[in-house]
Structure 1
Amino acid sequence: MKWTEVEEIALQLADAHPDVDPLKINFVDLMRWVIDLPEFDDDPKHCGERILEAIQQAWIDEVH
């Protein structure tokens, strides 16, 4: 899974962290959690604020 797979990342984060409100997560934790996903295989340096915002929004859309 790559950074560009925003929807899949959001689904996996929602499954991995069901008790977390994605509105309250900071980008440092979000990035670490994405990198820690078992299927994630991309360079952490390829991540930026826009990607993290997109992942957070997709996660919000998934759970709200």
Structure 2
Amino acid sequence: MPSPDTFSWTDIDDICLGLYEKFPDVEPLKVTFPELREMVENLEGFEPDPGQSVNEQILEAIQVGWYEEKQEADGENDDDKESYSPNMPYR
């Protein structure tokens, strides 16, 4: 069983945050899947579960999540979050 400080291929959010922190200047959508796999495998705390494999679907989810993490952190998100409030009554 992995320790609480580790994460594996299915921990997409942890991977995306780790990639953003380690590679803040890398454009996620320009990274090939083989490069992305190597980058993830070299993140501190990455420990795949025994017998767990990675596929294109997981790598694509990581790439998109990393891109969104970077957009949000860099203030480039197109969503107008300030004007949306789920608790505000419809006007």
TM-score range, shorter chain: over 0.9
Q: Which residue of 1 aligns with 2:53?
A: 46
Shift of 1:18: 0.7
Structure 1: distance between partners of 2:41 and 2:29: 19
**1:44–1:38 Cα change, 3 Å:** farther
SS of aligned partner of 2:47: coil
Q: Which structure 1 residue ranges, 4+ long, deviate > 3 Å from structure 2?
A: none
Higher relative contact order (CA 8 A, sep 6+): 1
Asked if the contact 1:10/1:58 (under 8 Å) is kept, the reply is yes
Q: TM-score, normalised by structure 2?
A: 0.66
Say what the alpha-carbon RMSD is for the aligned residues: 1.4
Percent identity of equivalent pairs: 39
Q: What's the CA shift string for 1:19-44, capped at 9, x where partnerless?
A: 10001100011000000011000158
Deviation per residue, 1:4-60 (Å, 9 max, x gap): 000110000000001100011000110000000110001586100000000001001
1:36 aligns to what? 42
Runs of 5+ consecutive residues of structure 1 not aligned to the other structure: none
Residues paired across the two proteins, number = 64
